[in-house]
């Protein structure tokens, strides 16, 4: 205890009235604390990483699924996301517009899964439970929502990949300028497209 007290007294004496030395000591303490925390929790981080890597993934047949949706609906916009429920991420993997074709400038954008947006979280819970939420899209729910609005989207439907409660590795969102006349047909098309993106292990 005496050694620690002597060390602290010498440290304070060394710092003196120097703001730079005080800043240096504080920075070193913060870095040391972070390093110690990472070291102590390394097993937890590795377990989470390994579990994340073990999750099933979509098969990448985005063009096939998108082509099927465009052919069988009047959707103006289609966005496909890769989902990682462990890391709470939802990253844009593929986006297209009926008018302009493939849109790449937002590829990889992570809009999060559960966020501070209540409407978004309601949709996510519906997707996890095996529902296909559809409804008016009046306000953006995330950064990508502003892109939807710029494309003229006012009505949207979403489905999980695969369309199966308990497994949620991806999401398809499609949007129209106005509510489609046959929502049930659109949901059937989405169900088929979702299946195109997932190959369960035999």
The 10s digit of each residue's pLDDT in 64-86 is 999 999 999 999 999 999 999 99
- Check residue 81 and report its DSSP letter: E
Residue 95 host element (H or E): strand 89-97
- pLDDT confidence bin for 7, thresholds 50/70/90: low
> Cα separation of 93 and 60, whole Å?
9
Q: 192: how many CB neighbours lie within 10 A of its CB? A: 13
Structure confidence by residue, pLDDT tens digits, 96-110:
999 999 999 999 999
Q: Is the pTM of this model over 0.85?
A: no
Q: Strand, coil or helix: what is 82?
A: strand
Are the C-beta atoms of residues 194 and 162 closer than 8 Å to each other? yes
- pLDDT confidence bin for 45, thresholds 50/70/90: very low
CATH class name, domain 57-196: alpha beta
Give the per-residue pLDDT at 1. Answer: 61
Q: 14: how many CB neighbours lie within 10 A of its CB? A: 10
- The residue among 105, 110, 109, 137 whose CA lies nearest residue 123 is 137
pLDDT above 80: residue 41: no
Structure confidence by residue, pLDDT tens digits, 153-162:
999 999 999 9
Better-predicted residue by pLDDT, 32 or 81: 81
Please compute the mean of the pLDDT values over residues 172-197 and round it to a whole number.
97
> Average pLDDT, whole number, for the chain?
86
- pLDDT confidence bin for 202, thresholds 50/70/90: very low
pLDDT above 90: residue 34: no
> Cα separation of 147 and 141, whole Å?
11
Please compute the mean of the pLDDT values over residues 135-164 and round it to a whole number.
95
pLDDT above 70: residue 49: no
Query: Out of 12-21, 136-145, 179-188, which region has the weakest mean confidence (pLDDT)?
Result: 12-21
Hey, where are the domains in the chain? 2-40, 57-196
């Amino acid at each position: 205890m005496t050694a620690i007290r002597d060390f602290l007294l010498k440290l304070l004496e060394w710092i003196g009235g120097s703001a730079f030395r005080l800043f240096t000591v504080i920075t070193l303490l913060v870095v040391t604390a972070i390093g110690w925390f990472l070291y102590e929790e390394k097993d937890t981080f590795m377990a989470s990483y390994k579990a994340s890597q073990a999750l099933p993934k979509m098969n990448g047949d985005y063009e096939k699924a998108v082509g099927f949706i465009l052919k069988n609906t009047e959707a103006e916009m289609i966005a496909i996301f890769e989902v990682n429920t462990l890391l709470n991420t939802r990253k844009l993997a593929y986006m297209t517009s009926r008018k302009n074709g493939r849109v790449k400038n937002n590829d990889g954008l992570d809009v999060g899964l559960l966020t501070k947006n209540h409407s978004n979280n309601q949709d996510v819970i519906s997707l996890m439970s095996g529902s296909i939420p559809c409804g008016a899209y009046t306000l953006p729910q995330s950064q990508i929502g502003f892109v939807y609005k710029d494309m003229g989207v006012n009505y949207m439907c979403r489905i999980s990949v695969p369309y199966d409660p308990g497994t949620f590795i991806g999401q398809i969102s499609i949007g129209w300028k106005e509510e489609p006349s046959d929502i049930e047909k659109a949901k059937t098309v989405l169900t088929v497209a979702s299946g195109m993106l997932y190959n369960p292990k035999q």
